[in-house]
Amino acid sequence: NTPPRAAGAKLLKRNLSDIAAMGGTPRHALVHLLLARNTATKWLEEFYRGLAQCCKRHGVTLAGGGIAQGPDGVFAADLFLLGEAGPKPLARSGARLGDILYVTGKLGGSILGKHLSFTPRLAEGRWLARQNGVRGMIDVSDGLAKDLPEILPDGTDAKLSIALLPTAKAARQLARRDGHSALEHALTDGEDYELLLAYAAKKDPAGFEKRWKKAFKTPLNRIGQIAPALEKKHSRQLRDGRGQLLLSRQAHGYEHLR
């Protein structure tokens, strides 16, 4: 049910978000297609128009790719994106005990439209990579509950302030429909494509927040801090201010290979 132009744009944007999470600049894309014999040419043309418009908007060259025939009823597209690193590429592994955790924008309920309409945080990512106190970053694509543990060091947990978690209006709308809490949606829905980062507590976080507000309209939300793990066998957990687990160990964001 997705409009073909929106599908083409998303194919690029979801990759742009990964480049943004390292503070990089996107450059060249390769697209590989698996097409059924009965693929509608008009649909494919619109798909490519959406992809081309998104490439133009973000300065990406569509440099080539490949094509293959698949079974009837099958359409698959895969995009490889090459980016250029800035002076300090941000990895997921730089976060340390005591770092303050921030996330851009709002979380949850992306299926109501944001999963297609999101804007990759490229400018924000490049700016963050230039800030001395930013030590680790990732984009929130699989859900905060899945992506946040990816940047936590061994032997630590994320101590989150629930009142500060930026829950989207769409998450609250879904909560009224399905009985799950808005918090659960914010933690597990995924496809938010916001930036999650760790900032050194000794590097003047108040000044960092002030500089951000001067540079961007996009909200930057302080959501918690990296703290010592409460359980030796199970670290990298998400906990509230009282140390309670926010989700059971069976509840998490999207797992591609589960």
Residue 39: pLDDT above 70? yes
The pLDDT tens digits of the residues spanning 72-103 come to 988 999 999 999 988 888 888 899 999 999 99
> Is residue 161 classed as helix, strand or coil in its secondary structure?
coil
The pLDDT tens digits of the residues spanning 225-247 come to 999 999 878 899 999 998 999 98
User: How high does pLDDT run on average in the chain?
Assistant: 94
The pLDDT tens digits of the residues spanning 119-130 come to 999 999 999 999
Percent share of the chain, pLDDT over 90: 85
Sheet holding 194-199, edge to edge: 134-140, 194-199, 100-104, 220-228, 156-160, 238-239
Residue 179: pLDDT above 60? yes
The pLDDT tens digits of the residues spanning 148-178 come to 999 999 999 999 999 999 999 999 999 999 9
DSSP string over 163-204: GGS-B-HHHHHHHHHHS--HHHHHHH-----EEEEEE-TTS-
Residue 167: predicted pLDDT: 97
